[in-house]
Structure 1
Amino acid sequence: MNMPEIVKAYFDADIRNDADALVATFAAEGVVKDEGALHQGRRAIRDWWLAAKEKAHHVTTPVELTGSGDKVSVRALVSGDFSNSPATLDFAFTIEQGRIVGLEIG
């Protein structure tokens, strides 16, 4: 799959369970929207991601990419300790200056 390097870095960090590398993919004031909640800034994103990993022990596997340039969506199979696992979710990324400024998961 030919995805933007910063998006690939996000998924690679997630697979390695590397919070520092994952957070580094975001702009300083980046925003994640997941399960109806907003998480803004690297500290909030780190806290969100660590809590999600602790709760669900999930693994995310990208399966399809659409879009290009500064807006791409990645359909991914997410499996872990949660009801209806595995689930197919869309990760909609907005990228500016080589960093993720927005991510909406749904």
Structure 2
Amino acid sequence: MTDEGKTHRGARAIETWLTRSASEYTYTIELTGAHKVDPDHYLATHHLEGNFPGGAVDLHYCFTLSDGLIENLVIEP
């Protein structure tokens, strides 16, 4: 998975990223859109507001499924 331009591979690296991301800032998140690009690719858009630099952002979660599991995730503005 890739977030803030950094790629994290493997369960341990992703768990570390998730723990850090969840505790670094306080924010609210709202799903504002979602659609299926093709049978294996999806895009979800979330609006975040909180105490991070800039205070508000719309993020696009582009992910690929393989055998019902997320194979790749890229989070970007």
Q: TM-score, normalised by structure 2?
A: 0.86
Moved over 3 A (4+): none
Please list every run of 5 or more consecutive structure 1 residues that lacks an aligned counterpart in the other structure.
Answer: 1-31
Q: For this pair of structures, how many residues does the alignment match?
A: 75
**Which runs of structure 2 are paired with 1:63-102 in the superposition (5 Å)?**
63-66=32-35, 67-102=37-72
Q: Percent identity?
A: 25
Shift of residue 57, structure 1, vs aligned partner: 2.6
CA distance in 2, matches of 1:99, 1:68: 15
Greater per-residue strand proportion: 2
**Structure 2, unpaired ranges of 5+:** none
- Between the aligned partners of 1:69 and 1:62, the Cα distance in structure 2 is 21
TM-score by length of 1: 0.65
Distance 1:38 1:59 in 2: 24
CA distance in 1, matches of 2:44, 2:51: 22
Aligned Cα root-mean-square deviation (Å) = 1.3
Q: Which has more helix, going by share of residues?
A: 1
SS at match of 2:7: strand
Superposition map of 1:27-46 within 5 A: 32-46=1-15
